[in-house]
């Protein structure tokens, strides 16, 4: 047995042993506590898009309405209705979020003009210095996905004033539930999901899930093969101690993926217009991603209104790839002028994250307040290597790619023997934090908090010494005023920072980038609390961004700290149940960006998103729905003259994407769902984040059969 296989089996064995030993221990405790009343909470599937709770912004146990920031929750119901099977699809439907899919297997996410670099699973932060996600995270194992927009320094430490994405894993249920789904769609898309949960005893439960998907693509030669395993355990060890353990293994193999994308203009400056299926990937290229995660949580009640919670996570991500990059500017008449570059890229990172905090209620001045405090440490290390033929000389000259529209992906398989570069970097983030909600009157609550964050980096990355220590104190202030039980107003101010390892003209490290975010808004719960509405105005600023000093040496580039992006705008969100038969999620976001013309150009200023499902009252079991996303025009200046005037500009007109769905419940246990995506077969460029780009998927179909016990 190979070492990686043994490692995976060992972790699964440890997980199983832990769950069984906990069950055995709790059974002994149960003999002594037979007279203690136990309450079981059962999960349920519903067609309502409203969710009241979210734990991404604070650890005070507040509802969304009580939290002075914009929070959106994509529910399991919405993901199921519209087959939002990966994180990209979910965030495309999330208010105020832009998905910059630059390649088939690498994506950036943005909010309020800034990259999203803060991701969580079950509230556990996953610190990272880049916002890109390699591969695509499957959503079959998540119960919901929470997005807190704006800076969120209390919960995430280092990061941008953009948003925090928290993926909430499915929990075991104490009622036996089994569901399965099989679907088939365009481009030979085959997907199977199995999800089962049951109680081991009155106070112990397990959940297992398995997902398998294999599909071709609208893109020439591109294929995917995904496999996801999930195991969760929850057990009441004593009447005051709760243990949760989660194990995740996601594997995605991609054949002929894009590394880079299509050229967007010809040598004469006019725009290219390839077929939507055109790809620059070689027929031998691949990009395989594996993610393995273990989460352990112990919650201990210590008083009637206080508990301590300890969380630990171990996360490993691996990539292995052989890639092919096409570069150059083609001639419009001859379709020549493109060349190829091959590379082998390997990557591995490991995270060990520990979080310990206490939260509860405090009586002061005859009023009840909320208090939370804790410490967090995240150790991260990553190694990467990139091997390519730097000179592209014999025996591996750069292959010429002519007539890209008809190219079949044939390119010489390279023997790479030069240009080996890479990195070996370790990061450690440590923070201590405290937050409180002070109940000043029955209607007015003031929130305050502070986080002390230290970030340490050591190692070499592509020849650059990354050794640097950064420390920052991050404040948080917020206020919520309840006009009545249904309507409240709020205001908040918070900050973040991003460590930098660039050096200035004197050889000293630049100070961290600091971010500031303020927000005011209204929140309302109407229609017997079935409908949730948020109106928000935000203003975010970033200063100290590293900018290269002109004409500095390429081998020793020096930088200066400059003003970064300033953004402000409005967001409106409505989600919930409008009638007994009609559920909806609607949002509008508008953002104005200053300080970076490039970002301003490729970021849509206005976005509109709408999802609706309607249960037909005259035909029991029949439901129709639509999911519509619209954004206005974007552009990217590709070539400028000596006076900085734009010579070549790529433009993407405003466009909208419409998805339709229909579900019919044949029996109480069996249903069938039809999804049609991009009904109008709109042709659009996925992103102008880079100088290259490729087209989104045209119209596609999928039909699934769903069964539940």
Annotate 607-674 with three-state secondary structure. Answer: EEEEEEEEECCCCCCEEEEEEEEEECCEEEEEEECCCCCEEEEEEECCEEEEEEEEEEECCCCEEEEE
Nearest to 434 by CA among 362, 373, 357: 373
CA 427 from chain centre, in angstroms, equals 21
Pairing of strands 444-461, 421-439: antiparallel
Q: Is the pLDDT of residue 247 over 70?
A: yes
Q: Is the pLDDT of residue 624 over 70?
A: yes
| Contact yes or no for 467/502 (Cβ under 8 A) | no
Q: What is the mean pLDDT of residues 109-125?
A: 88
Q: Is the pLDDT of residue 386 over 90?
A: no
575's CB contacts (< 8 A; 6+ apart) are 49, 50, 72, 73, 531, 532, 584, 585, 586
In SS3 terms, 114-157 reads as: EECCEEEECCEECCCCCCCEECCCECCCEEEEEEEECCCHHHHC
Confidence of residue 9 (pLDDT cuts 50, 70, 90): very low
| Top mean-pLDDT range of 31-45, 142-156, 270-284, 447-461 | 270-284
User: What does the alpha-carbon distance between residue 205 and residue 232 come to, in Å, rounded to a whole number?
Assistant: 8
Count of structural domains, the chain: 1
Torsions phi, psi of 596, nearest 5? -150, 100
User: What does the alpha-carbon distance between residue 85 and residue 609 come to, in Å, rounded to a whole number?
Assistant: 18
Torsions phi, psi of 644, nearest 5? 70, 20
Predicted local confidence at residue 377, as pLDDT: 93
Predicted local confidence at residue 235, as pLDDT: 96
Q: What is the mean pLDDT of residues 486-493?
A: 95
| Contact yes or no for 271/264 (Cβ under 8 A) | yes
Give 271's DSSP letter: B
Torsions phi, psi of 543, nearest 5? -130, 155
Within-domain flag for 579 = yes
CA angle, 642 as apex, 641 and 646 as ends, to 5°? 30
Q: Is the pLDDT of residue 406 over 50?
A: yes
Predicted local confidence at residue 55, as pLDDT: 55
- The percentage of the chain sitting over the pLDDT mark of 90, rounded to a whole number, equals 62
User: What does the alpha-carbon distance between residue 614 and residue 566 come to, in Å, rounded to a whole number?
Assistant: 40
Predicted local confidence at residue 201, as pLDDT: 92
517 versus 213: which is more confidently predicted? 213
Predicted local confidence at residue 137, as pLDDT: 84
| Top mean-pLDDT range of 131-135, 263-267, 459-463 | 263-267
Confidence of residue 186 (pLDDT cuts 50, 70, 90): very high
CA angle, 369 as apex, 365 and 372 as ends, to 5°? 135
User: What does the alpha-carbon distance between residue 54 and residue 675 come to, in Å, rounded to a whole number?
Assistant: 29
Pairing of strands 582-594, 400-401: unpaired
Q: Is the pLDDT of residue 56 over 80?
A: no
| Contact yes or no for 389/412 (Cβ under 8 A) | no
pLDDT averaged over every residue in the chain: 86
Tokens of 532: 């949730």
Confidence of residue 154 (pLDDT cuts 50, 70, 90): low
Q: Is the pLDDT of residue 699 over 80?
A: yes
DSSP string, 40-74: -------S-----B--SS-SS--BTTTSSS-EEEE
Give 578's DSSP letter: S
Tokens of 252: 């995605």
User: What does the alpha-carbon distance between residue 90 and residue 280 come to, in Å, rounded to a whole number?
Assistant: 27
Predicted local confidence at residue 509, as pLDDT: 73
Q: Is the pLDDT of residue 411 over 70?
A: yes
Cα dist. 426→351, 354, 423, 453, 502 in Å? Answer: 10, 16, 10, 17, 16
User: What does the alpha-carbon distance between residue 292 and residue 229 come to, in Å, rounded to a whole number?
Assistant: 10
| Contact yes or no for 421/408 (Cβ under 8 A) | no
pLDDT digits (tens, 9 = 90+) for 567-608: 999 999 999 999 999 999 999 999 999 988 889 999 999 999
pLDDT digits (tens, 9 = 90+) for 522-563: 999 999 888 999 999 999 988 877 777 776 665 667 777 777
Quickly tell me which residue has 């939002």 as its tokens: 84
Tokens of 604: 């849509």
The 10 Å Cβ neighbour count of residue 276 is 14
Query: pTM for the full model?
Result: 0.88
* Range name among 136-140, 144-148, 513-517 with the lowest pLDDT average: 513-517
Confidence of residue 87 (pLDDT cuts 50, 70, 90): very high
Report the phi/psi class of residue 398: left, alpha or beta, with left for phi > 0 and alpha for psi in -120 to 50: beta
Predicted local confidence at residue 415, as pLDDT: 76
Quickly tell me which residue has 């307040």 as its tokens: 369
Q: How many CA atoms lie within 13 A of 343 on its CB side?
A: 23
Residue 667: burial class (beta carbons within 10 Å; 0-12, 13-18, 19+): exposed
- DSSP, collapsed to helix, strand or coil, labels residue 6 as helix
Nearest to 315 by CA among 298, 290, 282, 286: 290
Within-domain flag for 556 = yes
Tokens of 196: 């089962």
According to DSSP, the residues that pair with 650 across neighbouring strands are 636
User: What does the alpha-carbon distance between residue 118 and residue 111 come to, in Å, rounded to a whole number?
Assistant: 11
Tokens of 145: 């996905």
CATH of the domain at 252: 2.40.170.20
According to DSSP, the residues that pair with 229 across neighbouring strands are 210, 249
Cα dist. 470→155, 260, 631 in Å? Answer: 18, 33, 38
For residue 395, say if its preceding peptide bond is cis, omega within 30 degrees of 0: yes
Confidence of residue 15 (pLDDT cuts 50, 70, 90): very low
Q: What is the mean pLDDT of residues 320-325?
A: 93
Nearest to 328 by CA among 337, 319, 336: 337
Predicted local confidence at residue 422, as pLDDT: 85
Predicted local confidence at residue 43, as pLDDT: 28
Within-domain flag for 457 = yes
Long-range own/partner contacts, residues 675-680 (CB < 8 A, 24 or more apart): 675/82, 675/83, 675/185, 675/701, 675/702, 675/703, 675/704, 676/700, 676/701, 677/701, 677/702
Q: Is the pLDDT of residue 229 over 50?
A: yes
Within-domain flag for 27 = no
Q: Domain residues for 100?
A: 43-708
According to DSSP, the residues that pair with 185 across neighbouring strands are 189, 702
Within-domain flag for 2 = no
User: What does the alpha-carbon distance between residue 534 and residue 536 come to, in Å, rounded to a whole number?
Assistant: 6
Q: What is the mean pLDDT of residues 127-140?
A: 74
According to DSSP, the residues that pair with 115 across neighbouring strands are 110
User: What does the alpha-carbon distance between residue 429 and residue 702 come to, in Å, rounded to a whole number?
Assistant: 44
Q: Is the pLDDT of residue 463 over 60?
A: yes
Give 597's DSSP letter: H
Quickly tell me which residue has 């709408």 as its tokens: 610
Within-domain flag for 9 = no
Size of the chain, expressed as the number of residues it contains? 709
User: What does the alpha-carbon distance between residue 598 and residue 709 come to, in Å, rounded to a whole number?
Assistant: 52
Q: Is the pLDDT of residue 70 over 60?
A: yes
At 81, which helix (H) or strand (E)?
helix 76-81
Within-domain flag for 25 = no
Within-domain flag for 118 = yes
| Contact yes or no for 543/492 (Cβ under 8 A) | no
136's CB contacts (< 8 A; 6+ apart) are 86, 87, 88, 105, 107, 252
Confidence of residue 34 (pLDDT cuts 50, 70, 90): very low
User: What does the alpha-carbon distance between residue 370 and residue 416 come to, in Å, rounded to a whole number?
Assistant: 60
Pairing of strands 223-238, 177-185: unpaired
Q: What is the mean pLDDT of residues 67-93?
A: 91
């Amino acid at each position: 047995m190979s070492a990686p296989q043994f490692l995976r089996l060992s972790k699964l064995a440890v997980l199983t042993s832990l769950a069984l030993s906990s069950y055995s221990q709790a059974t002994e405790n149960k003999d002594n506590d037979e007279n203690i009343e136990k309450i079981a909470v059962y999960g349920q599937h519903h067609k309502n898009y409203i969710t009241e709770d979210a734990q991404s912004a604070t650890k005070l146990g507040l509802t969304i309405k009580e939290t002075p920031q914009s929070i959106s929750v994509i529910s399991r119901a919405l993901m199921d209705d519209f087959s939002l099977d990966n994180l990209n699809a979910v965030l495309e439907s999330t208010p105020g979020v832009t998905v910059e899919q630059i390649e088939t297997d690498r994506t950036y996410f943005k909010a309020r003009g800034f990259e999203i670099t803060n991701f969580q699973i079950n509230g556990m932060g996953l610190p990272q210095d880049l916002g890109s996600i390699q591969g695509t995270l499957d959503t079959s194992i998540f119960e919901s996905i929470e997005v807190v927009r704006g800076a969120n320094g209390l919960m995430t430490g280092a990061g941008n004033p953009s948003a925090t994405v928290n993926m909430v894993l499915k929990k075991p249920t104490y009622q036996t539930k089994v569901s399965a789904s099989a679907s088939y769609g365009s481009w030979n898309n085959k997907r199977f999901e199995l999800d089962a949960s049951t109680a081991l005893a009155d106070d112990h439960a397990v959940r297992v899930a398995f997902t398998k998907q294999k599909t071709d693509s609208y893109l020439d030669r591109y294929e995917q093969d995904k496999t996801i395993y999930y195991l969760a355990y929850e057990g009441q060890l004593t009447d005051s101690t709760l243990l949760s353990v989660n194990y995740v293994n996601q594997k995605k193999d991609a054949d002929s993926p894009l590394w880079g994308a299509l050229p967007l203009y010809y040598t004469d400056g006019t725009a290219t217009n390839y077929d939507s299926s055109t790809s620059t990937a070689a027929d031998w290229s691949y990009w395989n991603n594996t993610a393995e995660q273990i989460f352990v949580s112990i919650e201990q009640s210590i008083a009637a209104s206080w508990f301590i919670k300890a969380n630990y996570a171990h996360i490993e991500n691996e990539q292995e790839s052989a890639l092919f990059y096409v570069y150059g500017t083609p001639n419009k008449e001859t379709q020549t002028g493109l060349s190829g570059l091959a590379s082998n890229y390997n990557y591995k990172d490991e995270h060990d994250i520990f979080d310990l905090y206490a939260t509860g209620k405090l009586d002061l001045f005859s009023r009840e307040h909320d208090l939370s405090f804790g410490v967090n440490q995240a150790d991260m290390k990553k190694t990467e290597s990139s091997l390519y033929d730097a000179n592209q000389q014999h025996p591996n000259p750069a292959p010429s790619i002519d007539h890209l529209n008809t190219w079949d992906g044939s390119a010489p398989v390279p023997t790479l023997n030069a240009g080996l570069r890479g990195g070996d970097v370790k990061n450690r983030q440590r923070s201590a934090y405290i937050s409180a909600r002070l109940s000043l009157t029955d209607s007015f609550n003031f929130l305050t908090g502070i986080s002390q964050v230290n970030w340490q980096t050591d190692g070499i990355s592509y020849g650059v010494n990354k050794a640097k220590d950064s420390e920052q104190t991050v404040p948080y202030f917020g206020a919520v005023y309840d006009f009545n039980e249904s309507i409240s107003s709020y205001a908040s101010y918070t900050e973040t920072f991003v460590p930098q390892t660039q050096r200035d003209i004197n050889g000293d490290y630049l100070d961290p980038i600091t971010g500031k975010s303020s927000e005011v808004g209204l929140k309302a719960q109407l229609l017997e609390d079935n409908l949730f509405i948020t109106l928000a105005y935000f203003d975010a600023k970033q200063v100290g961004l590293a900018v290269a000093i002109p004409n500095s040496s390429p081998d020793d580039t020096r930088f200066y700290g400059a003003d970064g992006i300033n953004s402000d705008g409005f967001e409106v969100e409505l989600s919930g149940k409008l009638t007994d038969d009609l559920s909806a999620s609607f949002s509008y976001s508008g953002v104005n960006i200053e300080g970076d013309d490039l970002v301003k150009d490729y970021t849509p200023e206005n976005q509109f998103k709408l999802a609706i499902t309607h249960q037909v009252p005259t035909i029991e079991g029949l439901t129709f729905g639509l999911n519509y996303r619209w954004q206005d025009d974007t552009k990217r200046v590709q070539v400028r003259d000596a006076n900085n005037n734009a010579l070549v500009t790529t433009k993407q007109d405003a466009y909208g994407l419409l998805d339709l769905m229909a579900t019919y419940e044949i029996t109480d246990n069996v249903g069938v769902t039809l999804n049609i995506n991009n009904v109008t077969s709109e042709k659009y460029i996925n992103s102008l984040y880079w100088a290259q780009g490729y087209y989104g998927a045209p119209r596609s179909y999928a039909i699934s059969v769903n069964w539940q016990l």
